[in-house]
Structure 1
Amino acid sequence: MLPHGVRTAAFGVAAMMVIFGAIGTVRAASTEGAAAAAVPTRDQVAEASKWNLTDLYKDDAAWEADYARADTMIAIAREMKGGPAKGGAALLKVLKHRDETYVLVDRLAVFAHLATDQDMNDKAAQARYGRATDLYNKFSEAWSWLLPEITAVPMATLSEWMAADKELAVYRHALEDIHRQKAHTLTPREEELLAMSSDMSDGMSRAFSLLSNTDMKWPTIKDEKDRDVELSPGRFMAFLNSPDARVRRDAFIGMHATYQAFENTIGTLLAYQNKRDWFYARARNYQSCVEAALFPDNIPVSVYDNLVAAVNEALPALHRYTALRKKVLKLKEIHPYDLYVPLIAESNRKVKYDDAVRTILTALELLGPEYGEAMKRGFESRWIDVYETRGKRSGAYCSGTYSVHPYLLLNYNETPHDRSTIAHEMGHAMHTWFTTRNQPVIYGDYSLFCAEVASTVNEVILNEYLYRQAKSRQEKLELINELLENTRTTVFRQTLFAEFERATHARVEKGEPLTPDVLQKIYRELVQKYYGPELVVDKETDAECLRIPHFYRAYYVYKYATSYAAATDIGRRIVSGQPGAVDGLMKFLKAGSSVYPIDCLKLAGVDMTTPEPVRACMKLFAEKLAEMEKLLAEEATARSSP
């Protein structure tokens, strides 16, 4: 819900209700024993295992008091129009008021969404969250005049004002960035109209969400024990992890046939979402949708192109991995629904939460005492909501706000993957922690281009630590399989999505039709290209493009792939003990949005303007694949020996 096409380090609202969720290997629960134990209520879980929301607000009255204060501050914002032209002191007053209002609105919103997610049956919490969202929209509209008024003041004049006022000089990068985007900033009235249109223009995304989460009726399939079970989006990945190929096939066909039944409706929604993106790109004088998406972060389109090119160079390795899956799983044919079942059957060993925390703290000692102490503080100070409870949102994420420590939502189930999820989300938490404690409000957030780097570095280091500690061939194979699957799902798959987005937007930009048939044909051809000739692409695969919610957030998914490549580079250098690698990471974590995302990653020693980080990640994938082939051959020899 940003001002469309404008995101500056200072005056966008990208950090509002920031939520970062785990990516990479699918963390799906088994379908077996799902109802074996009743899910506890919150009052049945120890206080130490629940996050402490009173760090945000002691009670409802405190939240209401801040809500009223924020509402008043937003009203004052409207009265400050014209301030930027009155001189440095007046501009500083405007900027400081905007910052103070932002921090308050953000705090209100974060509390509201956390309270909702801990119990989604709490009607009062839902109502509060709705009010917080309305307040955020009000905030956005109230400040819609600010960017045009700042661009109306010549940069030379702003520089003179900053030279005379050290407080105002703090805003130099932000003000220069606004002027960099001057050609794409509209008049105050036009900016107001675009801000007013944001709620309406989100209609395609909302309709898709309601259709897929509420209105669709899912078929019943037979599970591994021939019992009737209802298919659902929440259970889908668990079925794809089933060792029974028939269950995987039935789930895949059932899911995608359901979406295919709505192909005209969803195809139209997705086509008009692309048209929406093109409308806002043209409104802001961009030549393409991809330029409109990347320019606000000052990211060259060549970064996007380099990613696609480097991943395409590595497709032979992915084809080899597909063929290995077919061989190891002993399949006559390999289909898309066979891509998620674990190639190496994971042991049933349980990892207690406290043991997982100790392992993570030990593995990440490489990052130094400052990082370790902050992480320990998070584990010990109730930043984390650890276990599944009745009505709690599923999955895992980190949510941050400037004025309070970050929070982590988990649904810990004592699996090795859950341990990796803790490391991942704590990486987000540390990024937020170090940014907000080292940057002023104006730079107290960070770009999504950088967001997944900090979290994935932790996973890279943890995986390497566990591999070195592994005592059996089975453990090593599990860890290699995890790395390969992380790379497949986070780099290869997200880049496939990125190519799909580029192709669909290009058609809209040329005025060509984007029908359901065209959408599905583009997607099918990409799947075949990526996974190679061994993969039998079933007709239901075509409909996968109709169920991906990320396609309603243009040019978002490529950041997963670039972040993973950057994190792999950083993590490998830290593990190898390269001088300066840890210091570089800490500079990156503390920089926030005080520099552009590309420059921020350069602080950590990664240059994403070249294809080399992605190529190095692809090289590691090929090396680990060869290592897996070697270990599997050794295992086969050992089994055949008398």
Structure 2
Amino acid sequence: MSKNKEGALPFRADMPKNTQWQLEDIYADNAAWEADFEKLKALLPEVAGFAGKLGENAEFLRMGLDKLMEANLLTERLYVYARMRRDEDNTQELYQAMADRAAQLAVQLDADSAYFTPEVLNIPWVEQAVEKDEAGLGLYRQYLRNILRVKAHTLPAGEERLLAMAGDMAGACDNIFTMINNADIRFPNVPDGSGGEVELTHGRYGQLMESPDREVRKAAYEALYDTYGKQINTLAATYAGSVKKDNFFAGARGYASALEAALDANAVPVRVYDALVDAIHNHLDGLHRYMDLRARVLGVRDLKMYDVYVPIVPEADMRFTWEEAKQIVIEALSVLGADYAAMVQKALDGRWVDVYENRGKTSGAYSWGVYGSHPFVLMNFQGTVDHVFTLAHELGHAMHSHYSNEALPYVDAGYSIMVAEVASTVNEQLLLHEFLRRTRDKAKRAYLLNYALEQVRGTVYRQVMFAEFERETHRMAQAGQPLTAESLGQQYGGLNRQYYGPRMETDERISTEWARIPHFYDAFYVYQYATGYSSAVKLAEDILSGDGEAVRRYRAFLRSGGSDYPIRLLQNAGVDLTGPEPVARCLEYFSHTLEELEALL
């Protein structure tokens, strides 16, 4: 046993084995990892050896694909194992080094296989061969379809090379923002609510905005945005450069807009994005009512943006042991079928989950794994309601991966980000229903209802406001309108007033919030949070209605991985994102939840 001070975090070696995940299910030991590392090194020249040969016949193409997938899977296995070992205790230099070595081979594989897509696009017979399943090419139907689908937007080899060479330069704006935001920017000291002061940081800002002391919140809010305000012109120029970069690459590839180019990665029509924004506009009254309730509960006439995050319902006395958390999650998810609940039980008892915090362990939570082995879940369980929701959330990812891996070949098992959050959020919705079913205490029930409202406010309303801002700034730049601190502030400030409604008294500071949002440098990404959440609400409601067909469709969705495009996978599950209905249904759920909370308060 390792020696540790009383009250300090335990060392990894002191933690009970049955609360630690069992990564030996991927590699029995490090020697087995090293053997696969050498195997991958020997495999890389074989992958490179198919260059110039893929178009000779269907058999060569199939052999090249087989070899590429073998190398991809081996690379993932090596990296995932090393990274998860490192996450157990980040002070372990051995696993730091192993993760770096695996990452280096991944880069080499990318270089050695860079010829693949251009060659496939130049094979005239490939579509016909896939449809006829010549030489077994039908196995790679969706993979090749994804390559061929963007053929019209793929340039001649010399032009593609130029765009690739511009890659590092294209990332400059993102890198500049990262350096400003994480390295250079310094915030002043602000009141800590206990009579002292504390240096404001990104992490502390969120905590201070939940302070019951309004003056503390106000001071933190003003200090944060005044600091960004001192660099607002530089930040505006940086973001403008990022927008222009997006528009340049979209135009170079023949897309009508950067939005169309970004959505085309998942074959999502632009009308899905527009329908999402329109649906939110038609249901802003729900968010306005919520802000009105917030003002009344807080007892303020002049609701400010720094009043948005402070809890209006005190955290109820709801604590859970690990065993209690496991049981309530299993009961909540049993509606998905006895076999689903049994698989969750197996995951919880079979050391798929790394439960407690230890010294050096990576913070937060995630689900991860690799094809050919069951998925894993990292937790830092503290027994709070939030952590029980986190457990259900991560198990949703794990079950999605488990069932997709079980049903599909490696090439189709992985799923896109657009559907990734659906399974996890369905589990959260089912758990919320179970909590509310069990809870008669008004304070606890109010806490759970407010939790649900905040999830929709933050994941749907707020993310769509971000998405609308991105759409408008790219339109402005495409139309030749300048993106300056003033024009960006006018655009963002107007959206903020529209979304939060007349009860919210906004000031000029919130008009600069765009300047601190990292997601804006990965354009047209955040809308997927809203579509995923809305899809999950509809699916969970259908499941809880007792509709056996809804459960069957959802279980089929869990087994579908990346075998088709996200829009089609969701349509098969019962959610059609090409129209406004799923988002409207989610916002109706928000309205009904708000009504119950209003009655309780």
Q: Provide TM-score, normalisation by structure 2.
A: 0.94
Specify the alignment match of 1:500 in structure 2: 469
Does structure 2 conserve the Cα–Cα contact (< 8 Å) formed by 1:145 and 1:191? no
Tell me the CA shift for residue 315 of structure 1.
0.6
What is the alpha-carbon distance in structure 2 between the residues aligned to residue 95 and residue 232 of structure 1? 48
Specify every segment of 5 or more residues in structure 1 that has no aligned partner in the other structure, as ranges. 1-35, 633-642
Does structure 1 conserve the Cα–Cα contact (< 8 Å) formed by 2:367 and 2:378? yes
Q: Which moved more, 1:371-380 or 1:352-361?
A: 371-380
Specify the alignment match of 1:46 in structure 2: 16
Tell me the CA shift for residue 61 of structure 1.
4.2
The DSSP-based 3-state class of the residue aligned with 1:171 is helix
Does structure 2 conserve the Cα–Cα contact (< 8 Å) formed by 1:145 and 1:188? no
Specify the alignment match of 1:326 in structure 2: 295
Tell me the CA shift for residue 540 of structure 1.
2.7
Q: Which moved more, 1:484-493 or 1:219-228?
A: 219-228
Does structure 2 conserve the Cα–Cα contact (< 8 Å) formed by 1:141 and 1:195? no
Specify the alignment match of 2:355 in structure 1: 386
Query: Does 1 or 2 have the higher relative contact order (CA < 8 Å, sep 6+)?
Result: 1
Q: Which moved more, 1:478-487 or 1:47-56?
A: 47-56
The DSSP-based 3-state class of the residue aligned with 1:322 is helix
What is the alpha-carbon distance in structure 2 between the residues aligned to residue 58 and residue 187 of structure 1? 47
Q: Of residues 406, 414, 430 in structure 2, which corresponds to 1:437?
A: 406
Letter in 2 for 1:240: M
Tell me the CA shift for residue 133 of structure 1.
3.4
Specify the alignment match of 1:566 in structure 2: 535
Does structure 2 conserve the Cα–Cα contact (< 8 Å) formed by 1:145 and 1:192? no
Matched, 1:259 2:240: no
Alpha-carbon displacement from aligned partner over 1:235-289 (angstroms, at most 9, x marks no partner): 2222222222122222222333333333333333322222222232223221111
Tell me the CA shift for residue 179 of structure 1.
2.3
Q: Which moved more, 1:621-630 or 1:391-400?
A: 391-400
Letter in 2 for 1:50: Q
Q: Of residues 201, 213, 218 in structure 2, which corresponds to 1:232?
A: 201
Matched, 1:88 2:77: no
Q: Following superposition of structure 1 onto structure 2, how do residues 158-173 of structure 1 map, counting pairs within 5 Å?
A: 158-160=127-129, 162-163=131-132, 165=134, 167-173=136-142
Tell me the CA shift for residue 541 of structure 1.
1.8
Q: Following superposition of structure 1 onto structure 2, how do residues 410-449 of structure 1 map, counting pairs within 5 Å?
A: 410-449=379-418
What is the alpha-carbon distance in structure 1 between the residues aligned to residue 377 and residue 183 of structure 2? 27
Specify the alignment match of 1:301 in structure 2: 270
Letter in 2 for 1:208: F
What is the alpha-carbon distance in structure 1 between the residues aligned to residue 21 and residue 204 of structure 2? 27
Q: Provide TM-score, normalisation by structure 1.
A: 0.88
The DSSP-based 3-state class of the residue aligned with 2:367 is strand
What is the alpha-carbon distance in structure 1 between the residues aligned to residue 167 and residue 338 of structure 2? 44
Specify the alignment match of 2:46 in structure 1: 76
Q: After TM superposition, what 4+ stretches of structure 1 lie above 6 angstroms from structure 2?
A: none
* Residues 210 and 445 of structure 1, relative CA distance in 2, 3 Å threshold: same
- What is the aligned length? 597
Matched, 1:537 2:496: no
Tell me the CA shift for residue 426 of structure 1.
0.9
Matched, 1:114 2:84: yes
* Residues 217 and 379 of structure 1, relative CA distance in 2, 3 Å threshold: same
Q: Following superposition of structure 1 onto structure 2, how do residues 228-627 of structure 1 map, counting pairs within 5 Å?
A: 228-627=197-596
* Residues 540 and 124 of structure 1, relative CA distance in 2, 3 Å threshold: farther
Tell me the CA shift for residue 73 of structure 1.
2.5
Tell me the CA shift for residue 419 of structure 1.
0.7
What is the alpha-carbon distance in structure 1 between the residues aligned to residue 89 and residue 236 of structure 2? 34
Specify every segment of 5 or more residues in structure 2 that has no aligned partner in the other structure, as ranges. 1-5
Q: Of residues 65, 69, 72 in structure 2, which corresponds to 1:102?
A: 72
The DSSP-based 3-state class of the residue aligned with 2:457 is helix
What is the alpha-carbon distance in structure 1 between the residues aligned to residue 273 and residue 466 of structure 2? 12
Alpha-carbon displacement from aligned partner over 1:446-492 (angstroms, at most 9, x marks no partner): 11111111000001111111111112122221121111111100100
Tell me the CA shift for residue 401 of structure 1.
2.2
Specify the alignment match of 2:3 in structure 1: none
Does structure 2 conserve the Cα–Cα contact (< 8 Å) formed by 1:222 and 1:228? yes
Tell me the CA shift for residue 562 of structure 1.
0.5
The DSSP-based 3-state class of the residue aligned with 1:398 is strand
Tell me the CA shift for residue 554 of structure 1.
1.5
What is the alpha-carbon distance in structure 2 between the residues aligned to residue 89 and residue 379 of structure 1? 44
Tell me the CA shift for residue 166 of structure 1.
6.3
Letter in 2 for 1:101: A
What is the alpha-carbon distance in structure 2 between the residues aligned to residue 259 and residue 404 of structure 1? 46
Letter in 1 for 2:46: I
Does structure 2 conserve the Cα–Cα contact (< 8 Å) formed by 1:346 and 1:478? yes
Tell me the CA shift for residue 363 of structure 1.
0.7
What is the alpha-carbon distance in structure 2 between the residues aligned to residue 129 and residue 199 of structure 1? 23
* Residues 220 and 120 of structure 1, relative CA distance in 2, 3 Å threshold: farther
What is the alpha-carbon distance in structure 1 between the residues aligned to residue 134 and residue 355 of structure 2? 47
